[in-house]
Structure formats: structure tokens, C-alpha cells
Amino acid sequence: MAQLQAVSSSPSSKFVFHAHGAKRFESYQNRDKLFCLGRLSSNQELGARSSGLHGNAVVHQKGNLAQASASRVIQAVLTGEKETDVSSSPKSRGLRGKLNKVVLAYSGGLDTSVIVPWLRENYGCEVVCFTADVGQGIKEMDGLEAKAKASGACQLVVKDLKEEFVRDYIFPCLRAGAIYERKYLLGTSMARPVIAKAMVDVAKEVGADAVSHGCTGKGNDQVRFELTFFALNPELNVVAPWREWEIKGREDAIEYAKKHNVPVPVTKKSIYSRDRNLWHLSHEGDILEDPANEPRKDMYMMSVDPEDAHDKPEYVEIGIVSGLPVSVNGKELSPASLLTELNDIGGRHGIGRIDMVENRLVGMKSRGVYETPGGTILFAAAQELESLTLDRETIQVKDSLALKYAELVYAGRWFDPLRQSMDAFMEKITETTTGSVTLKLYKGSVTVAGRKSPYSLYRQDISSFESGQIYDQADAAGFIRLYGLPMRVRAMLEKGI
């Protein structure tokens, strides 16, 4: 078992890691990546199986701490200034049971900051905080080390998932044309499985026997996280504090935080509940809870008000290969960079604002406002290119499957074989969806200005109103008689003919 040691814990210093029996390698800390590891013990015994979803567990077998790969540095920050043994677990049993180590989906906000001491108190476990960078912005990443330490976490792991998120989750949904209930472009729905998958990986890397999240018992996200856990590692215990604890709201959480000396990152007054990633920004709560209320102008963050957008339109060309975007205005970009570029372009024209009342998976209706500037541009481009490359029945079948595809993603069934099989169909059917689309952006609107493809099924010599050799207009008479025969027979029956 390799032991990885951090030579220095200074925030601005250079970190050198030593792997016994492995090559020495070096890394640095930058603005949004934290590189620092404690010593990993090789003789840890772990293994606990939950007696239920609430994490009451008993040790039943021995296992070995998963070895960290020397080729893949786990980004982490430990609590102490000195070298910390992150594999040792508390001996005391918690109020609700005993777990060894829990990987917590951590944002640094009020809920997850409170969950850290709650897990330690109730399950007698070490808590490894995990933060996924899915493009939520540097501001939301700032200060996580200090917050995790203050909350009592033994370790903070940060992973940059932006490229994976766009490439492996967003683009397949785009290719499938997946839109939930006519409007929602699935921003949060797509992000949860990539985060949950990374949590399962981290749990293996640090030898955790449980995972935890801060989702409430009323929302969709609890389902999305836990279905991914079940699919990828059914042996992991899952702890969902909002379904267990006595904390009923934000005020209770603030009081609990003060009682346990956890710095409170917010005031008691809540404004909006937001979720941001590289694809979108969602807004819920406050005045939005009444569907009759118009959103305030100052609520939006990714896009300008269409009324205040540029008075001149902007044209943007999207290059697509086999149903997937590859370039903007002729410049090839990585998936995450491409989406970032389109967010900037669309945002300054007020593109991609959606206000909708949706049906949550758990049965209730909720009202949300979404900003998806780059995504709205990409969906428009993909649909316009498909109008050239796909025939009528293929589009109809694809659109019908897209509804089910979106429903599966919304419901957290990303790793369901059904979605994976449908994805294989979408990949096959869009093999020839290659070309470019030029769109006109103006004060919140996206309109097509042109589209072209080497695989276009559109033939000007056939479609032209001028006479052509391939299409004889006289043939239409026989076609209409045969096509309309069922209607004609029914009318004859009704009239007694």
C-alpha cells in the first residue's frame, strides 16, 4: 500500500508527494484545485452492511483500504496542520449506529456544513467531504477547506468533473433531444449522476463504507443520488440526514450549527434556492413559490434582461459531428470550453430563460426558473441540422423516445439499462447528423439563419417548384386516392353509398 505524504500544508506552497515503491511526482495548488494528501494506512479493516437505508450498521467482514492509484492524484485537504492519518476511525458508537467513514456530497453551504458534525455525532464516523467542480463557479469553491475543517471533516476531496459532465452526460442528452415537460433542459438532473458516480469512486479510494447527501425528502435529487449509488455500488450504506434528523428547517439548522461551533454561512432569511453548473442556473423559492408572481429582474445571474440586450443581432455558427457539437464560429473547442463560450454569447443576448411549473418525481408540483443560454443555442442548432439529415419517420420515432429518455434522466435512472440502450439508438440514428447551423441571436430569441450538411436529404432539384425529372406532379393524384382511401370508405359507409 502506497503511503502518500504532504511535505507542506501551506496554502501557497508547492506540494511534493512521496509514494513508497512508486515514482515521485509533484503537483501544485491553484485557484480551484486543492492538492494535498494525508498518509493512507494499509492495514485498515472495514466493511459494514446497513440494516436499512438509515445506516444502522454492524461490522461483518474484513476488507482492505482501496489503494490510491499513483497515476491519479486524489485532490484533498486534511484538517490538521500536521500529517493526518485519515484511515483511523473513531471507536465510539454514534447515537444511531456505527459507521467507519462516510463520503459526504459537500457544498460548503448551511445544510452540508451541519451534516458533518451530525454524522460524527450520530454514527461515530469520520467524514470525508467531497466537492465536485461541475462549473458552479470559483466563488462557490472559495473557502471550502476552511469550512470543511471548521465543520469537523477529516478530509476534503475536490474533483474537476467539467469535461466529463459535458462530454458524457450533457452531450448525450443533447443528441437525444431530451427535454422534460416541453421546457426543462435537465440541468440539475444531468449533474447529479456524475457527482454521485464520483462519490462512489472516492468512497473506494478512501475506504469509506457509506455515502451521504444533503437532499431534502421532498425533492428529486435524493432519488438521483441514491439510484446512482445503488447502480454502482449496492453495498454502500446511504445516510440521508434530512429524512432522519429533527432539524425541520433553516432556522433549526442554524441553531444546531451554533451549538456545535460550526460557522454559519448564511443568515436566517432565505431568498432563493439555487443550483448552478456549466449547463444552467436554477432558481426556486421566495416569491417564485407563488406561480402568479413574475420573477424579479435582479434574480437572473447568467443572462441579461432581453430588453437590455444588444440592439444588434449576433450570428453564431455551430459545427456538429454525428449529433455532437464540436465548434463555435469555426473554432474547435473541448466540450466544456464550447459550452462556456456559448454561455457567454447567449447570456449577453438574454437567451435561454425558462419559467415553468413542473411535476416532481415525488408527486408534487414545483415552480422553477432556469437560465440555460448555451444549452438553448445548442438545442436549436441540433434540431435544425436534424431537419436536413433525418427523414420523417426517424424524427417521429426519435422525438417519441426523447420523451422517455428525458423522463429517465429526470428520475435519476441514468445508469438504467433502458436509458443506455436508448442512448445506443440515438448514437446510431445521428451518425449522419454532421454539418453546421448558423443562428441569429437577438433580445432573447434564437432563430435559424442557415444550415448545411454533406448528408442532407434535402434536394433542391426535387423540392423546387420548377419542373423536375425525378418528381412528376401527375403522380400525386394516384397517391392521394390511395392514401385517402380509408377516409373515403368511411364516408361512403356513413352516407349509405
- Find the catalytic residue in 151, 221, 275, 436: 221
Please confirm, yes or no, whether 298 is among the known catalytic residues. no
Determine phi and psi for 113, rounding to 5 degrees: -65, -35
Helix axes 110-123, 144-151, angle to 10 degrees: 30
- Find the catalytic residue in 9, 27, 273, 456: 273
**What is the C-alpha to C-alpha distance for residues 376 and 350, in angstroms, rounded to an integer?**
11
Please confirm, yes or no, whether 221 is among the known catalytic residues. yes
**What is the C-alpha to C-alpha distance for residues 62 and 48, in angstroms, rounded to an integer?**
9
Nearest to 303 by CA among 339, 345, 275, 335: 345
- Find the catalytic residue in 96, 120, 175, 192: 192
Please confirm, yes or no, whether 275 is among the known catalytic residues. no
Please confirm, yes or no, whether 42 is among the known catalytic residues. no
Strand 281-284 versus strand 25-27 pairing type: unpaired
170 close to 339: Cβ distance less than 8 angstroms: yes
461 close to 470: Cβ distance less than 8 angstroms: yes
Nearest to 45 by CA among 6, 91, 94: 91
Question: Cβ neighbours of residue 144 under 8 Å, at least 6 residues apart?
Answer: 34, 77, 106, 108, 129, 131, 156, 158
**What is the C-alpha to C-alpha distance for residues 165 and 189, in angstroms, rounded to an integer?**
12
> 336 to each of 71, 121, 341, how far by Cα in Å?
23, 40, 9
- Find the catalytic residue in 87, 89, 107, 111: 111
**What is the C-alpha to C-alpha distance for residues 109 and 409, in angstroms, rounded to an integer?**
26
User: What are the catalytic residues?
Assistant: 111, 192, 221, 273
